[in-house]
Chain A
C-alpha cells in the first residue's frame, strides 16, 4: 500500500525566506505527483502537476521536483509572502489502473510579516 509522508508537519518562517517542503512516498510505481494548497475552510487548489516522466515543474515562485527512484518530491517556495500561509499537500497517482491519488497529511505553513 502506498504511503505518503510530509515533513515537517508545520513550519513557521519570516517573510522573504526561501523554503522547501518535503514529500516522500514508499512505492515508486507512480504515474504522477501533485502539490496542492488548502486554505482554512476551503477546498484544495492544484499548484503543480508532475508526470512520472518529468523531473520538475515551475509556476511563478514555486518549483516542484520529483525523484521517483528515491521516492521523494520537494516543493520550493521562493521569497515567501504572508499570502503563502496555508496547508500544502502532496498526492501521488499510482500505476495501478485505478486512477486514484494517495495524499500526505500536509505541511501547515505560516509566513509572518
Chain B
C-alpha cells in the first residue's frame, strides 16, 4: 500500500509565485488534513476536509487555499508565496467512526522554501 503520498517532496519558490501541493491517499479515508511544521512551533493545522467536496479552516489558514474534488486527493495551494510560508508541509488522513476517528496516517512531507 502506498498510504499517503505527497508531491512534490521539495520545492523552492520566489516570493509571489504560486504552487500547489498534492496529497493522495489510497485507504478510502473520509478525513484529510494539511499541517505545517516549524521549529519551536510544532505541528499546526492549516485546512482540513471531512469528505469529498468539503473543506474547513484550521489554526493557520491565511495565505492558503484547498480543494477536495475527489475523495482520495487533497490539494493545498499557495496563491502568492511569502517567506513566512517556508516550512515542511504534512498531509494526513484518517477514517471516521462517527463519534471519533482512527489513527492518523501521515505523508513523508513536502519541504518548501520561499526566497
Render B36-78 as a binary contact track against A, CB cut-off 8 A, 1 for contact: 0000111101001010000010100000000000000000000
Inter-chain contacts of A93 with B (CB < 8 A): 100-101
> Does A81 interact with chain B (Cβ within 8 Å)?
no
A100 touches B42 (CB 8 A): no
Inter-chain contacts of B4 with A (CB < 8 A): 43
Inter-chain contacts of B107 with A (CB < 8 A): 43
Q: Measured between alpha carbons, how far is A51 from B102 in the docked complex, in Å?
A: 9
Q: Which interface residue of B40, B41, B45 has the most chain A CB atoms within 10 A? A: B45
Render A77-113 as a binary contact track against B, CB cut-off 8 A, 1 for contact: 0000000000001010100001111011110000000
- How many chain B residues touch A (Cβ–Cβ < 8 Å)? 26
Inter-chain contacts of A41 with B (CB < 8 A): 109
Inter-chain contacts of A34 with B (CB < 8 A): 103-104
Selected from A44, A98, A104, A106, the residue in CB contact (under 8 A) with B90 is: A44
> Does A73 interact with chain B (Cβ within 8 Å)?
no
Render B73-112 as a binary contact track against A, CB cut-off 8 A, 1 for contact: 0000000000000000010100010011111111111000
Q: Measured between alpha carbons, how far is A42 from B6 in the docked complex, in Å?
A: 12
Question: Contacts A100-B58, A105-B42 known; A42 to B103 CB distance under 8 Å?
Answer: no
Question: Contacts A104-B42, A105-B42 known; A99 to B90 CB distance under 8 Å?
Answer: no
Interface set of A (CB-CB < 8 Å, partner B): 31-32, 34, 36, 41-46, 49, 51-52, 89, 91, 93, 98-101, 103-106
Mind listing 18 A-B residue pairs with CB under 8 Å?
A31-B100, A31-B101, A32-B101, A36-B106, A42-B109, A43-B107, A44-B90, A44-B92, A44-B104, A46-B104, A46-B105, A49-B102, A49-B103, A89-B42, A91-B104, A99-B31, A103-B43, A105-B42
10 smallest A-B Cβ distances: which pairs?
A43-B106, A46-B103, A105-B42, A103-B43, A44-B106, A31-B100, A49-B103, A43-B108, A103-B42, A43-B109
Interface set of B (CB-CB < 8 Å, partner A): 4, 31, 33, 40-43, 45, 48, 50, 56, 58, 90, 92, 96, 99-109
